[in-house]
A and B are shown apart, each in its own frame.
Chain A
Amino acid sequence: MKGRVLTSDVLLGIAPIALMIAVWQALISFGYAPATLLPPPGQVFMRLVRQLGNNEYQQDIAATLFRLFAGFAIAVVLGVGIGLAAAASPAVNAVVRPIVRVLAPLPKVALYPALLLLLGFGHESKITLVVADALFPILLSTYYGASMVEQKLIWSAMAAGTPPRQILFKVVLPAAMPSVLTGCRIGLVISCIVVFLAEMITSTDGLGHVLVTAARTFRAVDMFVPLITISLLGLILNGLLQWLRSYLLRGFPEV
Chain B
Amino acid sequence: MMSWRTLVSRLAPLLACLGLLGIWQIGALILDTDSFPTAIDALRAVPSILTDKESLINILASLRRMAIGFGVGVGLSIPLGLMMGRSRAVASFFNPLLMITYPVPKAALMPIIMLWLGVGDLAKTLVIFLGVSLPVVFHSFQGARAVEEKMLWSGAAMGLSAGQRMLRIVLPSALPEILIGCRTGLVLALITMITSEMIARQSGAGNILFNALDMGQYDTVFAMIIIVGAMGIGLDAAFEQLRKRLVRWSEPRFDLPLSFS
Q: Do chains A and B touch in the complex (CB under 8 A)?
A: yes
Q: Which residue of A lies closest to B225 (CB)?
A: A110
Asked if A104 and B259 sit within 8 Å, CB to CB, the answer is: yes
Which chain A residue has the least Cβ–Cβ distance from B255? Answer: A101
Chain A residue at minimal CB-CB distance from B224:
A110
Pick out which of these stretches binds chain B: A55-63, A163-171, A189-197. Answer: A189-197
- Contact status A104-B103, CB under 8 Å: no
B198 touches A97 (CB 8 A): no
Q: Is B47 an interface residue (CB 8 A)?
A: no
Given the known A-B contacts A193-B105, A196-B108, A230-B103, are A118 and B258 also in contact in the complex, defined by CB atoms under 8 Å? no
B232 interfacial contact with A, CB 8 Å: yes
A99 to B94, CA, bound (A): 38
- Asked if A208 meets B256 with Cβ closer than 8 Å, knowing A12-B93, A98-B15, A110-B229, the reply is no
> Is A113 touching B213 in the complex (CB atoms < 8 A)?
yes
By the criterion CB–CB under 8 Å, are B221 and A13 in contact? no
User: Are the CB atoms of B257 and A105 closer together than 8 Å?
Assistant: yes
- Which 5 pairs from chain A and chain B are nearest by CB? A234-B103, A105-B236, A215-B111, A98-B16, A98-B12
Q: Is the CB of A109 within 8 A of B191?
A: yes
Total contacts A-B at CB 8 Å: 181
Distance, CA A196 to CA B16, complexed state (A)? 31
27 A-B residue pairs with Cβ-Cβ distance under 8 Å, sorted by A, are A8-B92, A9-B92, A12-B89, A15-B93, A17-B96, A98-B12, A101-B13, A102-B13, A102-B17, A105-B187, A105-B232, A105-B235, A110-B194, A110-B229, A110-B232, A113-B225, A116-B213, A118-B35, A189-B102, A197-B199, A200-B199, A201-B199, A215-B111, A223-B112, A231-B100, A231-B103, A234-B104
- Which residues from chain A contact B7 at a C-beta distance below 8 Å? none
Please encode chain A, from 202 to 220, with 1 for each CB lying within 8 Å of some chain B CB and 0 for all others: 0000001001101100101
Alpha-carbon distance between A112 and B254 when the two chains are bound, in angstroms: 29
B13:A98 contact, CB within 8 angstroms: yes
Q: Do A99 and B19 have beta carbons less than 8 Å apart?
A: yes
> When the two chains form their complex, are residues B258 and A186 in contact, meaning their CB atoms are under 8 A apart?
yes
Is A71's beta carbon under 8 Å from chain B?
no
Listed residue (A105, A190, A220) with the most chain B CB atoms within 10 angstroms of its CB: A105
- B229 and A101: CB pair below 8 A? no
Q: How far, in Å, is B146 (CB) from chain A's closest CB?
A: 13
Report the separation of the CA atoms of residues A112 and B88 in the bound assembly, to the nearest whole angstrom: 42
Q: How far is the CB of B62 from chain A (nearest CB, A)?
A: 12
What residues on B are CB-neighbors of A8 within 8 Å? 92
A186 to B15, CA, bound (A): 29
User: In the complex the two chains form, is A17's CB within 8 Å of B97's CB?
Assistant: yes
Which residues on B are within 8 Å of A, measured CB to CB?
Answer: 12-13, 15-17, 19-20, 31, 35-36, 88-89, 92-97, 99-105, 107-109, 111-112, 114-116, 187, 190-191, 194-195, 198-199, 206, 209-210, 212-213, 218, 221-222, 224-225, 228-229, 231-233, 235-237, 254, 256-261
In the complex, are the beta carbons of B108 and A197 less than 8 A apart? yes
CA distance A15 to B89 in the complex (A): 12
Taking a contact as CB atoms under 8 Å apart, the answer to whether B236 and A137 are in contact is no
Enumerate chain A residues within 8 angstroms of B115, measured Cβ to Cβ.
Answer: 37, 215, 218, 220, 223
> Are the C-beta atoms of B111 and A211 separated by less than 8 Å?
yes
Complex: A108 Cα to B228 Cα, angstroms: 10
Interface presence of A117 (CB below 8 A): yes
Partner of A104, one of B112, B209, B257: B257
CB of A141 within 8 Å of the partner chain: yes
Find chain B residues with CB under 8 A from A72 CB: none
**A13 CA / B93 CA spacing, docked (Å):** 4
Contact B108 A117 (CB under 8 A): no
Instruction: Give A9-59 interface residues, CB cut-off 8 Å to B.
Output: 9-10, 12-17, 20, 37-38
| A117–B35 touching, CB < 8 Å | yes
Q: Say yes or no: is A178 at the interface (Cβ < 8 Å to chain B).
A: no
Asked if residues A235 and B100 are in contact (CB atoms below 8 Å), the reply is yes
- CB-based contact A101/B228 at 8 Å: no
